[in-house]
Amino acid sequence: VVVVVVVVVVVVVVVVVVVVVVVVVGHPRRNIRSSGRDTRFDMPPHGTPASFAFQTLDVYQLAIRFLARTAEIVAAMPPGHSAVAEQLRRAALSIPLNIAESSGRVGRADAARHCAIARGSALECAAILDASLALRLADPVKVSEGQSLLLRIVQMLSKMCR
């Protein structure tokens, strides 16, 4: 009986270790390029900064550009409109954060859910920019540039959510 318990405990420990390795490192078949080479442990070329996978996504880079544009728009808003400024700041920050979080999700449905949240935040930003123009709180040129970025972001996220 003691031997059976020990064997069961060892098997459970081995299974847990294998699951952890597959989740953390990734399944070997998912990391093989068409050349047949395992890419899990590839390092970036010498002299280039390391980056996470989401940082290389065009949609993430556009979201960061939009976030910077948002900071300029908010900084130029007249005093007394902190609620609008804060809502735009929070919604703009939500876009790249949810894109990054979606890239870290294992399940397709969970990743798509975070893409949908990022898309919703982008649409919220577009509405806030419209309201800012209507209330004459923002420079129309900067808002137009921000809306152009948002349009591209929403288009990319719509494809990623499928």
Output the pLDDT for position 20: 60
Give residue 32's pLDDT: 43
| Chain CA centroid to CA 18, Å | 28
Tell me which of 17 and 62 has the higher pLDDT.
Answer: 62
Whole-number Å distance between alpha carbons of 125 and 147: 9
Residues ≥6 apart with Cβ < 8 Å to 91:
121, 122, 124, 125, 128
Across the chain, mean pLDDT equals 84
Q: Which pLDDT score, from 0 to 100, does residue 9 have? A: 78
d(CA 149, CA 53): 21
pLDDT recorded at residue 48: 58
Other CB atoms within a 10 A radius of the CB of residue 123 amount to 15
Q: What value does the mean pLDDT take over residues 116-136?
A: 97
Question: 99, 57 in Cβ contact below 8 A?
Answer: yes
Residue-wise pLDDT for 24-48, tens only, equals: 555 444 444 445 544 544 445 555 5
Q: What is the pLDDT of residues 135-148, one digit of tens each?
A: 999 999 999 999 99
Note the pTM of the prediction, 2 decimals.
0.69
